[in-house]
Amino acid sequence: MKNFITFEGCEGVGKSTQIRYLKEYLQKTNQPALFTREPGGNEVGEKIREILLKEKMSALCEAHLFAAARIEHINTVILRALNQGMLVICDRYIDSSFAYQGFARGLGLEKVMQINEFAVNNCMPQYTVFLDMNPLNSWRKQKGKVIDDRMEGESGEFHLKVYDGFKRLSQAYADRYIVIEPKPLKEETSQSIIDALRKRGIIK
């Protein structure tokens, strides 16, 4: 979908900060955009998010819940904004399902694709900004931040599988992926993201 941009990456690599910087840049330069996140985006999505981040469940159940939240998110938030000609920036989307449920939980890409078929249908991102940083070296880890949800509490091995999943996806969908390696200086990373989106005519 034109004008639909997603951000992906492992935990603690500075994704939220980078999204905030992009938001500030777009506000400063008077470029309207809708910022949203998964799982969440509306009331039902936020409730599903709470369950997903707290309750223990099977991988299959997890994949379906993410997809269910996604259906609501697409129909009530994303498509509405895109149809009004807005730029939509989403913090995590289908590639998180591929990386976490498909690769790390071991459901496989095919199954996750099937589960998401109804959800995503024709609503694939035009570009995906992938913050390419090993989760075991993440900024958050370096700062020793406390673990505050179920996914964050998973083992290092799990997070490495997620990372490997994203790497594979970035190769399989090379045309869609914008791979950015976070630098210690957050402003520098932000500039790389802005430059990459400008080069592709997404923002000015």
Taking the complex as a whole, the smallest distance from the CB of residue 86 to ligand TYD amounts, in Å, to 21
* 38 touching ligand TYD, by CB under 6 A: yes
Structure tokens at 63: 């994949």
Beta strands 33-37 and 87-91 are: parallel
Element (H, E) at 37: strand 33-37
Q: Binding mask 62-81 vs ligand TYD (x if CB under 6 A, - otherwise)?
A: ----x---------------
For ligand TYD, the closer of residues 38 and 72 by Cβ is: 38
54/199 Cα distance (integer angstroms): 40
Cα 147 → chain centroid:
19
192/105 Cα distance (integer angstroms): 32
Cα 186 → chain centroid:
18
For ligand TYD, the closer of residues 16 and 27 by Cβ is: 16
**Residue closest to 15 by CA, chosen among 7, 23, 6:** 7
* 36 touching ligand TYD, by CB under 6 A: no
For ligand TYD, the closer of residues 150 and 183 by Cβ is: 150
For ligand TYD, the closer of residues 59 and 196 by Cβ is: 59
Taking the complex as a whole, the smallest distance from the CB of residue 151 to ligand TYD amounts, in Å, to 3
Q: Which stretch binds ligand TYD (CB under 6 A): 11-19, 79-87, 118-126, 172-180?
A: 11-19
Q: Binding mask 138-167 vs ligand TYD (x if CB under 6 A, - otherwise)?
A: -----------x-x----------------
Binding-residue total with ligand TYD (CB under 6 A): 14
Is residue 38 within 8 Å of residue 26, measured between CB atoms? no
* 132 touching ligand TYD, by CB under 6 A: no
User: Any residues with CB less than 8 A from the CB of 34 and at least 6 apart, and which?
Assistant: 77, 81, 86, 87, 88, 89
Which residues lie near ligand TYD (CB under 6 A)? Answer: 11, 15-16, 38-39, 53, 66, 92, 96-97, 100-101, 149, 151
